[in-house]
Amino acid sequence: MIEAILPAGTVAVDTFTDWPHAFLFPEEEEIIRPAVDKRRREFTSARWCARQAMTRLGRAPAPVLPGPRGEPQWPAGLVGSITHCDGYRAAVLAESGVITTVGIDAEPNEPLMDGVLPAVSLPEERDRLDRLLRDHPDVRWDRLLFSAKESVYKAWFPVAGTWLDFEDADITFDPLAGTFEAQLAVAGPELHGRRLTGFSGRWLAAQGLVVTAIAVVARHRPRGARAVRRRAQVPPDPHDGPADRPVQSKEGRARRARPSFALPAQTPAEYSGLRLTGRSLRRVTFSLRYVRVRCCSTVLIVM
C-alpha cells in the first residue's frame, strides 16, 4: 500500500498480518527478549519486511538494530524507515546514492486520544484541521498530522542527528493532491548545497489506515544506479519468496503517480529532530507513552 506514495528508487515491503516464519538475528533477539508478545510481533514482522527489501536491492539480509535514540541502523550504503501499527507493518529502503533520506509512518484512521493533539500540534495547525475535518470527514486529520510529524522526524534524524520538538514542524495538508508540506522552525544542516528548511511528503488514507511518507532524492545519482523496484507484500508461504502483486486498496489497482521528492526550491526555515525538552517533555512524554496502545511506534519507542 505505502509504495503508492513513494518515489522512484525506493523499495517498499509491507504486510497486513504477522508472518509466523519470520526470524530475528541473535542480536535482535537479545534486544526484544523482555518485550510483551504484541511488541515482539511488531518488531519481528517489521524487520522481516526490511530484510525482504534488502534482498530486492541485491543485499544480503542483515540485522537492523536500534541506535542510541531508537532509530533503525541500516547496513552501509542503505537508507530506510520502518513503521508498524495494529494490522500493518512496513519497511522502505533505498541505496543512499539514490535517496538521501526517507521517513514513513502508518496509523489507524481513528481520532487521537483526548489531550494528545494539543501536545503535538500548533494552534494554526489545529485551526486548519478543523476546516479539513468539516470538508473531508472520512479522514481523521488529527491522526494524519501525528503521522506526518513522525515521518518528518524519521526523515530528519538521519541527516541531522538531533531531536525535533513537535512544535518545530508546521504541517500543511493538500486534501485533494494527497500531499503535505512541513515548514521547519529551527536550523538544520546543509543538504545538497543548501540549508534544510522543510520537507515535502505524500499521504494516503485506505484500508482503515492513514500513511505518510517523505523521501529526499539524491541530487546526483550514481551512474548505473538501479531504477524503481515495486514493493512486494510479505509472501504468504515461506518457500514462495517475495510476491510481486500489489496490495489491493479501496481504490482497486489504480496506480498513483510517483513524484520526485526533491528539497524545496527555496530555503524555507531549518530543521532539528523531534526534541522533547522543557514543557514539551512534560506534556508529550506521558501522552505518547499512553497513546502507544492505539498508535504506531512513536519517537519514544524503539523502532
Q: What is the pLDDT of residues 25-81, one digit of tens each?
A: 999 999 999 999 999 999 999 999 999 999 999 999 999 999 988 899 999 999 999
What number is the average pLDDT over the span 253-267? 33
Q: Is 39 annotated as a binding residue?
A: yes
Residue 70's pLDDT is what?
A: 86
Q: Is 12 annotated as a binding residue?
A: no
Host H or E run for residue 90:
strand 88-95
Q: Is 105 annotated as a binding residue?
A: yes
Q: Is 275 annotated as a binding residue?
A: no
Q: Is 84 annotated as a binding residue?
A: yes
Q: Is 10 annotated as a binding residue?
A: no
- What is the end-to-end Cα distance of the chain in Å, rounded? 20
Q: Answer yes or no: is 296 within a domain.
A: no
Q: How far, in Å, CA of 20 to CA of 69, rounded?
A: 29
Q: Where are the alpha helices (DSSP H) in the chain?
A: 26-32, 37-56, 116-120, 123-135, 141-160, 278-291
pLDDT of 208 strictly over 80:
yes
Q: Answer yes or no: is 298 within a domain.
A: no
Q: Is 154 annotated as a binding residue?
A: yes
Q: Answer yes or no: is 86 within a domain.
A: yes
Give the tens place of pLDDT for each residue, 131-157: 999 999 999 999 999 999 999 999 999
The structure's pTM equals 0.74
Of the two residues 290 and 209, the one the predictor is more confident about is 209
Range of the structural domain that residue 161 is part of: 2-291
Q: Which of 54, 70, 32 lies closest to 62, judged by CA?
A: 54
Q: Answer yes or no: is 115 within a domain.
A: yes
pLDDT of 276 strictly over 70:
no
Instruction: Give residue 100's pLDDT band: very low, low, confident or very high (50, 70, 90).
Output: very high
Pair 108, 147: CB distance under 8 Å: no
Q: Answer yes or no: is 198 within a domain.
A: yes
Domain count, the chain: 1
Residue 303's pLDDT is what?
A: 55
Q: Answer yes or no: is 129 within a domain.
A: yes
Q: Is 285 annotated as a binding residue?
A: no
Of the two residues 204 and 186, the one the predictor is more confident about is 204
Q: Answer yes or no: is 89 within a domain.
A: yes
Q: CATH number, domain at 88?
A: 3.90.470.20
Q: Answer yes or no: is 286 within a domain.
A: yes
